[in-house]
Structure 1
Amino acid sequence: MDKAERDAALRTLRFLCEGTRLEGLTFYGLRLLLSESDNNSKRIDGQIYINIESPICLFKSMPKNIPVFNELPKMESIESLKIICELRLKQIVDVSLSIESPHLFLTFETGEVLFIWGQHDQYESWQVGVSDTAIGDEHWEVVACPNDSLAIWGADDIVRYT
């Protein structure tokens, strides 16, 4: 993941997620449904979502080090859902990515941090995007792709990918 790619992804993720609240989820895979925010409500009329295809962990505060994969808790899907349900209606106040791999950190107003593993050799680890948008033809999505890369779609004034 190069710096320009990471920076473009962070701008897009912050536009989509900061100020939103976790307001629901779906059970086919793990898809979090986020509310709109003051920051994006005039521009997005669809459902903001986060698809999680990899391990997660909830920290009481931002960890000093990035977790190691084999040290992440091994959870059944019901355990992951319980963690997500505990975050219901809490506001996301910060979004960050690790430097080398697209590990995603969502910081909530309580200080809790949802960590989503972002590394896989063959599959996407997570996706953040907007479905069913009715405003214009803008496509919003950030995808943690195999081999520590990102794919980013969004409006040029937000993404500014160079």
Structure 2
Amino acid sequence: MLNEFDDLAGQLYLNIESKWTIFDSVPSQYPSNESQIADVSEEEKYSQIIKMRREKIIDIQLGDSTPHLIISFESGSILFVIGFHEKYECWQVGVESDNWLVVACPMNGVATWTSNKFE
């Protein structure tokens, strides 16, 4: 079992397949579906995410009834990723060389794969 001093050996990654947005602070209510997130160009998305690339993550949460991914940063900004789709995975988070993965599966499912370190 991992303890607070263990490191995961590998590059952490987030693959996003659904709509996402960045909030400057905690909103009064998070979007519940993709139609509630504004369409922006790919260039604008890259610009937004590049500005946050070195920010320290202070909290990661999943939505209460849907696995929306909510990542809070030290600056107060929040990356919000929609976690529901009827047919497709919305997002995947993992460690490239350490065999662990968390996936938002179709219809509000969440699947996990872990290395032997977690047993």
TM-score, normalised relative to structure 1: 0.65
Q: What is the CA deviation profile of residues 71-117 of structure 1, one whole-angstrom value per residue up to 9, with x for unaligned ones?
A: 20112222211110110210000011111111011000001001011
Unaligned 5+ runs, structure 2:
none
Percent of aligned pairs with the same amino acid: 36
1:85 aligns with 2:50: yes
**Residue in 1 that maps onto 2:16:** 52
Pairing 1:138-157 to 2, within 5 Å after superposition: 139-154=99-114
Aligned length: 116
Aligned to 1:65: 29
Superposition TM-score, scaled by structure 2 size = 0.87
Q: Which runs of 4+ in 1 moved over 4 A?
A: 155-158
Q: What's the C-alpha RMSD, in Å, of the aligned pairs?
A: 2.1
Q: Which residues of structure 1 form unaligned runs of 5+?
A: 1-14, 16-38, 134-138
2: CA distance between counterparts of 1:97 and 1:103? 5
1:123 is paired with a residue whose SS is coil
Residues 106-125 of structure 1: pairs in structure 2 closer than 5 A: 106-125=71-90
